[in-house]
Amino acid sequence: MVIIKSTEEIVIMRKCGKILAAILDKLRTETRPGIKTSQLDIIVAEESGKRGVIPSFKNYRGFPANLCVSVNDEIVHGIPGERILQEGDIVSLDVGAKLDGFHTDAAITIGVGRISKEAEELIAVTEGSLKSGIAQATNGVWVDDISSAIQHYVESKGFSVVREYTGHGVGRDLHEEPPIPNFAVGKGPLLRRGMTLAIEPMVNAGGWRTKLAANQWMVLTADGSLSAHFEHTIAVTDNEAEILV
Ligand code: MG
């Protein structure tokens, strides 16, 4: 069931989103060649504690960390660990925060030091596709208007969208109805004012197919091509969507 948030609930999510944005800013400045991905996880734990939010991902369906770190051909759900980021890597950082019973969820992909032209373009196209999807999100349109805009944007640039993983509603639960696919699959529900959604295109430089790592968490591109991921949590209004984080 699709959940409509009250004004008071959106106020809490707005506050939660501001804190999560600050945590992401800290991660952005700390992501550089030589840092271990587990150090980024520690930063999320420390910053969340300092700012009074709970990291949403820790223990979610058994996920063992505060942050998902996915490098190069890793798409999503990478577990932080001993890997050391190298010049030329691209790294997707996906993180959630919970405040007063409500979650917000966001992701960015960052180049580590100097990166290839293809990697730069992939990052720009993924971020651009998220913007084009959000530009559709208003009271009274179909979920598919978001999905189709993202798919069209990505494919017009020669890249592909991941199909097995989608965006989602977010609020009291980290994952709520409705799913927000990044490609056209049918109309889906109508958007209504007060819906809060995590829109999150995952874009591959090669084909759209994925594979699951042996740890049963991390998702990689099937063909070994690079992948990028951007995510905002938004609130649907009668006009432009409000970006909560
Ligand atoms: Mg999400």
- Give all domains of the chain, ordered by start, each with its CATH number: 7-239 (3.90.230.10)
Q: What tens digit of pLDDT does each residue of 133-166 get?
A: 999 999 999 999 999 999 999 999 999 999 999 9
What pLDDT is attached to residue 220?
A: 98
- The pLDDT value recorded for residue 139 is 97
Q: How many A from CA of 200 to the centre of ligand 1?
A: 6
| Tens of pLDDT, residues 71-112 | 999 999 999 999 999 999 999 999 999 999 999 999 999 999
CA of 168 to the centre of ligand 1 (A): 7
Question: How much is the mean pLDDT over the chain?
Answer: 97
User: Could you tell me the distance, in angstroms and rounded to a whole number, from the CA of residue 160 to the centre of ligand 1?
Assistant: 19
Instruction: Measure 223 CA to ligand 1 centroid, in angstroms.
Output: 24
112, 40 in Cβ contact below 8 A? no
How far, in Å, are 164, 211, 219 from residue 214 at the CA level?
17, 10, 10
Q: What's the CA-to-centroid distance between 230 and ligand 1, angstroms?
A: 9
Tens of pLDDT, residue by residue over 208-242, are: 999 999 999 999 999 999 999 999 999 999 999 99
φ, ψ for residue 41, nearest 5 deg: -65, -40
CA of 106 to the centre of ligand 1 (A): 7
Query: What is the distance in A from the centroid of ligand 1 to the CA of 175?
Result: 7
Give the model confidence (pLDDT) of 121-135 as tens digits. 999 999 999 999 999
Q: Residue 188: what pLDDT?
A: 87
Give the pTM: 0.97
Is pLDDT of 1 > 80?
no
pLDDT tens digit sequence for 4-56:
999 999 999 999 999 999 999 999 999 999 999 999 999 999 999 999 999 99
| CA 28 – ligand 1 centroid, Å | 18
Measured in Å, residue 16 CA sits from the centre of ligand 1 at 15
SS (H, E, C) the chain: CECCCCHHHHHHHHHHHHHHHHHHHHHHHHCCCCCEHHHHHHHHHHHHHHHCCEECCCCHHHCCCCEEEEECCEEECCCCCCCECCCCCEEEEEEEEEECCEEEEEEEEEECCCCCHHHHHHHHHHHHHHHHHHHHCCCCCEHHHHHHHHHHHHHHCCCEECCCCCEEECCCCCCEEEEECCCCCCCCCECCCCCEEEECCEEECCCCCEEECCCCCCEEECCCCCEEECEEEEECCCCCCEECC
As a whole-number percent, the residues of the chain with pLDDT over 70 amount to: 100
Q: How far is the CA of 123 from the centre of ligand 1 (A)?
A: 18
Contacts of 25 (CB under 8 A, 6+ apart): none
Q: Quote the ligand 1 centre to 82 CA distance (angstroms).
A: 24
pLDDT at 153: 98
